[in-house]
Structure 1
Amino acid sequence: MLVIGATGTLGRQVVRRALDEGYDVRCLVRPRQNPADFLRDWGATTVSADLTKPETLPPAFVGVHTVIDASTARPEEDSYAIDWEAKCATIQTAAAMGISRYVFYSIDQCDKHREVPLMNMKYAVEEYLKVSGMDYTVLRLCGFMQPLIAGYAVPVLEEQPLWGTDDDTRTAYLDTQDVAKMTLAAVRRDEAANKIMTLAGPKSYSVREVIALCEKLGGAEAKVSNVPVGLLKFTRAFTRFFQWSSAASDRLAFAEVLASGIKFEADMTETYKTLGMSEDEVTTLEQYLEEYFSKILKKLKEVGGESRQRDFYL
């Protein structure tokens, strides 16, 4: 099995789960000063390649039967180069090397919001995979629980201001460990081949509800600064006039969708059947945040509550 994007928030969970289930895991990592030693410590092998240089890719695919692609552009990188051009090159290489199954992570409702560059590229990659000749599985994700720690839990504990929006958008968050579990289930089961499935948590939450939950569990009141949806729309329109601000405009476009009152959620009944799983195997947001706050508050009590350093909470 080859995991692309293995050092990311989701990719590392996929690697760990695959190793625990007995797979031989190879990780494609970019050449860099800080090597991904932790992947090798876990028992995976690594191979260096650059997604933007197709000629470096073939050696990574030798002897591989399944590819799990968790890569995406970092904020400072060219999203078009990574999330479209590199994806096309990777899929072409995988097809030429006879890969049996290609698993790709997409975004829930990307087909309905193609005005957002990242969502449009995700949808385009889905369509590209369909005609690649390989068996594929597309997993559309609603949202991860992990970013909620830095975005909401830590500011509540730190008594620092945090940003919210005046909208009713709801997101059914999943723990990345559960996404990894679902991914490996999809790899094992023929029923998941050539399907597009949305992965969602048991319940969806608005930003206000997430903040309220953090306040309850953290025992503190959040200092919330709301950003009106109208301001997001105006800012996006303004930045379109300047070539140097196109990346910022793209991110604001995505933020506008998030603040549009839609629901990133899905009925998982059929998906659980396809994966051979049940809802009982999935962590709820309450459980996830309760475990986090319990550990942190216990540690604070042990040290006398003197530390207010952000790194401590992360």
Structure 2
Amino acid sequence: MARQRGILVIGATGTTGRQVVAQSLEAGAEVRATARDPGAAGLPGGVEVVRGDLTDPDSLRAPLDGVEAVFLLWPFATAEGMPAVLDAIATRARRVVYLSSAAVRDHERRIERMIERSGLEWTFLRPHAFAANTLRWAGRIRAEAVVREPYGAAAMPPLHERDLAAVAVRALLGDGHEGATYELTGPETLTQAEQAGVIGEVIGRPVRWEETSPEAARQRMLADGWPPGAVDGVLRAQAGMVAEPRAATATVEAVTGVPARTFRTWVTGHADRFRTP
């Protein structure tokens, strides 16, 4: 993989962004990361952490100085504000790797089209379900060794965040990824109930799946502070994956040369999150 100077990671303090930072450093890149509060970012040594806020595009101009490639995570549910951010990026960088999603929601589609028209070299990452999504079950598993959710038969190939980041780093630092759209999954399709079973096997405590109604799940998620649109989108996607299970892709291995990590591997690395202290 060719070494490339000046990588900016926008969204560096999230699960995926932290992996992009770490793996870019391991690859020998000079890495800069934005954070609203650089002092609280908790990123590894070797990365330059600077203040930057997507809601204030002018705050990105200094972080973009000397940057050649940008990893862009857009955390908002609309594309409002993206044109100004892209203008800031395009005046300094030449390449952007955008973390979209397999769902390609309306605002994500709009952002992809904006990037295509920006004049930047671009790569789109469209991950399917993340293995880390199962952390929402962790509290109940620790307390009762049970998962109470709807759509236990919803089947998907959970993706390890390290594999998503590995593809992102290839696209940031190497050539041959311009204009590519990568559909990213883990290597095996598992139902949600099967995922709960794997967690139980890894932690040495059987975990039971208890089917609940979609409406009960919706009310609980709303009470937990989820936006209504996000709740409905998640439940709609899960219902769809009961009728049409999502198939695994081989994209991670095709891009990185290494097979995608299994869900069991992910659980093993996060087992303490599910174990009772």
TM bucket (normalised to shorter chain) is 0.7 to 0.9
| Amino acid paired to 2:26 | D
Equivalent of 2:136, from 130, 136, 151?
151
Quick check: 1:106 aligned with 2:112? no
Match of 1:12 among 18, 21, 36: 18
Q: Is the 8 A contact 1:16 1:42 kept in 2?
A: no
2:156 is matched by which residue type in structure 1? T
Which amino acid in 2 is paired with 1:88?
P
Superposition deviation, residue 288 in structure 1 = 2.5
Are 1:28 and 2:34 counterparts? yes
How many residues get paired? 265
- What is the aligned partner in structure 1 of residue 261 from structure 2? 283
The one-letter code matched in structure 2 to 1:14 is: V
Moved more, 207-216 or 245-254: 245-254
| Superposed displacement of residue 131, structure 1 | 1.0
- What stretches of structure 1 of length at least 5 have no aligned partner? 74-78, 111-118, 240-244, 301-307, 310-314
CA–CA distance in structure 1, aligned partners of residues 263 and 245 of structure 2: 16
Structure 2, unmatched stretches of 5+, are: 1-6
Counterpart residue number, 2:73: 70
> Structure 1 residue aligned with 2:54, among 51, 56, 60?
51
Are the equivalent residues in 2 in contact too, given 1:169–1:259 (CA < 8 A)?
yes
1:167 to 1:157, Cα distance in 2 relative to 1, 3 A: closer
TM-superposition CA deviations, 1:192-249 (whole Å, max 9, x none): 11111111111121111101212233333435442334x38997xxx9xxxxx99324
Q: Which amino acid aligns with 1:105?
A: L
- 1:285 is displaced (CA, Å) by 1.0
Q: TM-score when scaled to structure 2?
A: 0.83
* Root mean square deviation of aligned Cα: 2.9
CA contact (8 A) 1:167 1:260 kept: no
Deviates most, 48-57 or 152-161: 152-161
Which of the residues 208, 211, 230 maps onto 2:193?
208
CA contact under 8 A between 1:232 and 1:252: conserved in structure 2? no
> What amino acid does structure 2 have at the position aligned with 1:191?
G
Spell out, residue by residue over 1:7-53, the C-alpha distance to the aligned partner (whole angstroms, 9 max, x if none). 11110111011111111111111147x522x32x5211122122112
Distance (whole Å) between structure 2 residues aligned to residue 250 and residue 287 of structure 1:
28
Q: Quick one: structure 1 residues 92 and 169, their matched pair in 2 at CA, closer, same or farther if it must change by over 3 Å?
A: farther
* Cα distance in 2, alignment partners of residues 86 and 35 from structure 1: 25
Matched, 1:94 2:89: yes
Q: Please identify which structure carries the higher helix content.
A: 1
The answer to whether the Cα contact below 8 Å between 2:186 and 2:262 also exists between their aligned partners in 1 is: yes
2:30 partner SS: coil
- Distance in 2, matches of 1:183 and 1:159, equals 37
Structural mapping, 1:136-285, within 5 Å: 136-148=122-134, 150-152=135-137, 155-159=140-144, 161-166=146-151, 168-229=153-214, 231=215, 247-261=227-241, 262-268=244-250, 272-273=253-254, 275-279=255-259, 282-285=260-263
Distance 2:122 2:88 in 1: 14
Partner SS, residue 6 of structure 1:
coil
Secondary structure at the residue paired with 2:149? strand
CA pair 180-207 structure 1, distance change in 2 beyond 3 A? same
**Residue 265 and residue 129 in structure 1: after superposition, are their counterparts in 2 closer, same or farther (change >3 A)?**
farther
Residue type of the alignment partner of 1:156: I
The CA distance in 2 between the partners of 1:233 and 1:61, in whole Å, is 42
